[in-house]
Amino acid sequence: MAKYLTIAPMQLADIDEVLVIEHLCFPTPWSWFAFHTELSENHYALYIVGRMGERIVAYAGAWLILDEAHITNVAVHPDWQGHGFGKQILLALLARAKAKGASRATLEVRKSNHKAQQLYLRNGFVFRGVRHRYYTDTGEDALIMWKDNLDDVAAFVEITG
């Protein structure tokens, strides 16, 4: 039986729970201040959380600039990976970005993060380039990926709420 996340806009009160996931998923996690700034000052920001019951188990974010959604974060708590929640949170983010005027999306992903690359490839993203030594913590390259058409995600917002 498939499990579905309850999707909602990220609120300031969600930051502490989001930070737990952030620290478990990324070698150089964002700070509380970074998320607070995104939510309270960045007018281009779109951040959502995915809950199972009352617990936040996934989150995602993007900057909406003109007709593009630049994805900044997609993460699922390690205890909840393998249930399709990465796909759910990604598609919910893209559906909301489309509803706000985005027609395409882009992101950078670590060259070593094969799991994330597969998620993006399975959901219509393609490789378009490399940002050499993009990640300052390790000097790792970033792969640039694009999804040129968000038409296939428009209905997903109705499923997830």
Active site residues: 108, 120
CB atoms within 10 A of CB 133: 11
- What pairs with residue 68 in β-bridges? 65, 104
DSSP conformational letter for 27 = S
**Burial (0-12, 13-18, 19+ Cβ within 10 Å), 146:** middle
| Amino acid found at 104 | R
**123/152 Cα distance (integer angstroms):** 10
**Nearest 5°: phi and psi at 132?**
-70, 135
